[in-house]
Chain A
Amino acid sequence: MTFSNRGSEFRTELTATADYYSMTDISKNALLTSLGKQLIDGSLNDPAVMQATEATPDYKILPWVNVVKIGGQSIMDRGRQAVLPLVEEIVTNLKQHKMILGTGAGTRARHIYSLAIDLGLPTGVLTVLGTAVAWQNAQMLHYLLAQHGIPFIEPEGFGTLPHYLMERNAVICQGMPPYKLWEPNPEKGRIPPQRTDTGCFLIAEVFGARKMIYVKDEDGLYTADPKKNPACEYIPRISVEELLARDLDDLIVERAVLEFLVRARHVKEIQFINGLKRGQLTAALNGEAVGTIIYRNGDSK
């Protein structure tokens, strides 16, 4: 275990602004903070109450964990030639890094989405269907990593996740957020707007993860789809604010991830690497700037 020499990184963070502590009423040994009184007496929809929660401290639940999302169409659908070398690289990294491995859905999701849209089914139902595909991919990855003692866990089993990460250094989950029928409609069309990129991002954000790495089949972000437009330009590093402002027609990641990155309190950057190239995952886990990094600018939070 090499975690001990990274002390500062694993220190539990409980920082808050002076503003917050001036609001708390610890001296009078009151049962509730003054924010607590506001929450109980006021309306949660009151902008002033929402604003007051902005200045509360942030505690990182699992500050040493890395969330790694394995693409569905980009990696899993390619089968052995893409998946096995990646599995090998994951196993090699288990000694140094702790990982939550989430999976994407891919071509079978595209098939069932187009079928379900044709049948007139709503977005929430498409989410239930798409989740099953990401689940299948997670199961397959799980079979390949089973001999290393790595478990597959459902969203309901996330309470056991810290234990497995301590004992086995990795867990596998399906990447879809567990929204099921409660998935909000997209702005346009019928495809669930929050899929596996978003689900993995939200895991990284809620646990205060060290890294959010997306394993795809491209070196990173381009100004257009490099598979369709060979003249497009590579973008190694860009702020999320600038990327949103560019309003590109196509992206390497779900738009919801960019929107959430802007408001995130823990995740400061996300990294996109090419899983078809050996060593990229290792480099990213070691903190090297491979692939594309999308970072949060103006770190106001």
Chain B
Amino acid sequence: MSADQPGAQHVQSSLMRESLVDKNVIARTESQVTAILPDVSVIQIGGRSIMDCGRSALMPLLDEIVANQSQHRMIIGVGAGVRSRHIFSVGLDLGLPTGALAALSAKDAAQNAYMVSCLLAKHGFVYLEAPFVVQLLPAMLAAARGAVFNGIPPYSLWEHPPAVGKLPPHGSDAGSYLVAEVFGARRVIFVKDVGGLYTADPKTNPQAELIREITVEELIHRRLQTLPIEPSVLELMRHAKLARSIRLVNGLVPGNLTRALAGEAVGSVIRT
């Protein structure tokens, strides 16, 4: 609440003296957004689905990333995986809050991202911590040939309390998506160990059917029991300005990532 404050010294602007909580003021700020890095593709490598499987899953995928380097500028977000599950278990047992769990879990994803950057270093990829993503990503992409970042967003102690329970709602899927959205990336590709989005978990239910294309609203409405991505990504996508679709592919099948980067209909696509 604001308006007329005789004591306050204001700077002239269209939002001067306005309450930024006022719905009418907020509605006035709707306008076109410019993509900052429109030719970059964001690739998210799952922690549990890819990293935890080690060499057999990761190396062919990295080979494929390198093979695509001449055609595509890529920034790679990496997830946390089973070590985060373990520290969640210990942390929850100790009674630690969501923000503390988020701070702890981010280190697991950082480790994975650092390993990926080491394996891609000879091809010019660099590892960027969050402050360097903010300040240096465009320069790094111009000088280096790709970047690897921690998929988990830097929310740390400030992670949102979830609607149910205590697990941090923004993991590496959400963080990678948010990077794609803020930079206006060309493509957002989630590399998992299943063929895409299914009506049920394909690992436990052979009847599960692949959903090749679906809108965010429809997917939220269907209330599927298990999703291959964090549900918070769907919430974030509802307010997308630039990253209006994401693709989920099976990274264990050679060629899938290449096809997704080329814009082919592989795996599943979720759109706004």
Contact = CB atoms under 8 A, between A and B. Distances in A.
Nearest to B168: A44
A249 B22 contact: yes
Given A57-B95, A190-B29, A260-B160, A110 B167 contact: no
Contacts of B31: 117, 120, 190
A32 B89 contact: yes
Contact of B15 (A33, A114, A260, A276): A114
Interface centre among B89, B171, B175, B226 (most CB of A within 10 A): B89
Contacts of A252: 1, 21
B152 to A, nearest CB: 9
A260 B163 CA distance: 9
A178 B100 contact: no
Interface string B1-17: 11111011111111111
A61 B156 contact: no
Contact of A121 (B10, B33, B90): B33
A147 interface: no
A103 B159 CA distance: 19
Interface stretch (B67-75, B112-120, B233-241, B257-265): B233-241
Contacts of B86: 32, 36, 39-40
A151 interface: no
Interface string B218-229: 000000011101
Interface string A124-153: 110010000000000000000000000000
A40 B165 contact: no
Contacts, number: 271
Interface in B149-169: 153-167
A122 B29 CA distance: 11
Interface string A190-206: 11000100010011011
A241 interface: no
Interface residues of A, number: 94
A226 interface: yes
A117 B32 CA distance: 8
Nearest to A44: B167
Contacts of A40: 82, 85-86, 89
A216 B5 CA distance: 12
Contact of B161 (A32, A208, A264): A264
Given A73-B2, A74-B8, A111-B15, 5 more contacts: A122-B33, A123-B241, A155-B156, A206-B157, A227-B5
Interface of B: 1-5, 7-24, 26-34, 36, 82, 85-86, 88-90, 92-100, 130-131, 133-134, 153-167, 171, 175, 178-179, 181-184, 201, 225-227, 229-231, 235-236, 238-242
11 contacts: A45-B227, A45-B229, A46-B226, A107-B17, A111-B12, A113-B29, A179-B153, A182-B154, A187-B239, A202-B159, A206-B159
Interface of A: 14, 16, 24, 32-33, 35-36, 39-40, 43-47, 49-54, 56-59, 61, 73-74, 77-79, 81-82, 106-108, 110-111, 113-115, 117, 119-125, 128, 155, 158, 177-191, 195, 199, 202-203, 205-206, 208, 216-218, 222, 225-228, 249-255, 260, 263-266, 276
